[in-house]
Copies of this chain bind each other. A is one copy, B any other.
Amino acid sequence: MKFSNRVINLNESPIRKLAPSSNKAISDGKKIYFLNIGQPDIQTPKSFFEAVKRQKIETLKYEPSQGNRKLIESIVSRFKEDDIIFDYKDIIVTNGASEALLFAISAITDPQDEILIPEPFYVNTVSFLKQFSINVVPILTVEENNYHLPEIETIEKLINTRTKAILITNPNNPTGTVYSEEELKMIVKLALKYDLYIISDEVYRPMSFDNKKATSLATISRKANDNLILIDSVSKKYSACGARIGAIISKNESLMSHIIKLAQARLSVSTLDQVGATELYKLDSKYYIKISKEYQSRRDVVIKELEKIDGITYSYPEGAFYILVTLPIENAEHFAKWMLESYEYDGETVFVAPAKDFYLKSNKGINQIRIAYVYNKNKLKRALLILKKGLETYLKNF
């Protein structure tokens, strides 16, 4: 039996493909610190579960394809508090940000079209683009520049007649970069000049540090209203990854009239998760401030512990909960696997994500890892000590 070129060309998730090694570590009795996956440890706000338990549904019916009315109204209100103005009709609820990204790509690209993405990038986005036979055109960003965007001329050179969109994740996964207003204005300028869509993945928006706000692209310029497709999700900011609730948001009415057809074809999104998520979006700014502070203090712990490790370099995360670290080794995937399968420190080890799949070309990022700081500070300290000890041992052996 044959398979589609689409799936043959697809890579296994780099974050999940070391699962066999991690299973080995577990069956060897080791305790693992999972720094490889962006799964927050913070509790999901109780109001989610309370709303789910309170509902008196007898028959679990399809919700409207656009989404539950109360949930959409709750999103509109929550955005309004942050001076981001969208109407009810601008929002379609999706199965997480994943489906929102799929819908965006599906609605605006035909095979062989091109999308520009700052590199390193969120790897699943590229999986989705491959599924639609879209060419990824990387905008290279580097550690020395804290992974901020290059000059406008550098990006402009990458644009051609097949370019359909620029995809921005802000704050960024995997780099932790928060783009400045100037950088966002540059993106808008290019989008308007070349008639490009901007797909703005803002699922980490409330999580920015050092009193530096992450600006939504929706607030940059009204002129770009038709260009902008905003992606949202409850997963990261509300620690609710298992509630598959996201949204695709745009003021481009024609675009939304096409996307609702994609939404209708898959019928609806989980009823109970929509009931719970409605309450999450009702949380006020204090909640955002609280989690930002928590992740900022974790970032500080991570940086302090990384400073103790010789020979490594890293950028300074401004938001989200990731940091990319460049190791003084040849092959970070080999190292990550070795840490799971062959190393332990007092019966414990750490699971880090090799970064090479965050880059398009296979010669980049091969000596980098991504760390997600999704543990409390004491656990993070311990995990980074183990990383330090592991790296020292690895360097002696290889």
A residues near B, CB below 8 A?
A: 1-8, 10-13, 16, 37, 39-44, 48-49, 52-53, 57-63, 65, 95-96, 98-99, 102, 106-111, 124, 127-128, 131, 133, 164, 195, 197, 226-227, 239-244, 252, 254-255, 258-262, 264-273, 276
Contacts and interface: CB of A to CB of B under 8 A. Distances in A.
6 contacts: A1-B195, A7-B262, A98-B267, A124-B267, A242-B271, A244-B267
Given A65-B16, A267-B98, A4 B110 contact: yes
B273 A61 contact: no
A270 B258 contact: no
Contacts of A57: 44, 49, 242
Interface of A: prevailing SS: loop
The 5 closest A-B pairs by CB, nearest first: A242-B271, A127-B265, A60-B242, A13-B264, A7-B258
Contacts of A62: 37, 39, 241-242
Nearest to A49: B57
Contacts of A270: 242-244, 270, 272-273
Contact of A1 (B41, B131, B255): B255
A111 B111 contact: yes
Contact of A106 (B4, B244, B252, B254): B4
Contacts of A241: 60-62, 267-268
Given A4-B110, A12-B260, A272-B272, 15 more contacts: A3-B255, A4-B109, A7-B106, A10-B261, A60-B239, A60-B242, A95-B244, A98-B267, A99-B266, A106-B131, A124-B266, A127-B265, A243-B272, A244-B269, A244-B270
A37 B267 CA distance: 11
* Most-contacted residue by chain B among A61, A164, A240, A259 (CB, 10 A): A61
Contacts of A261: 7, 10-13, 127
A229 to B, nearest CB: 10
B271 A243 contact: yes
A199 to B, nearest CB: 13
A44 B272 CA distance: 13
A89 B6 CA distance: 22
A39 B271 CA distance: 14
A268 B255 contact: no
Contacts of A16: 65, 264
B39 A262 contact: no
Nearest to A56: B49
A279 to B, nearest CB: 13
Nearest to A14: B264
* Most-contacted residue by chain B among A16, A128, A241, A264 (CB, 10 A): A264
A312 B43 CA distance: 59
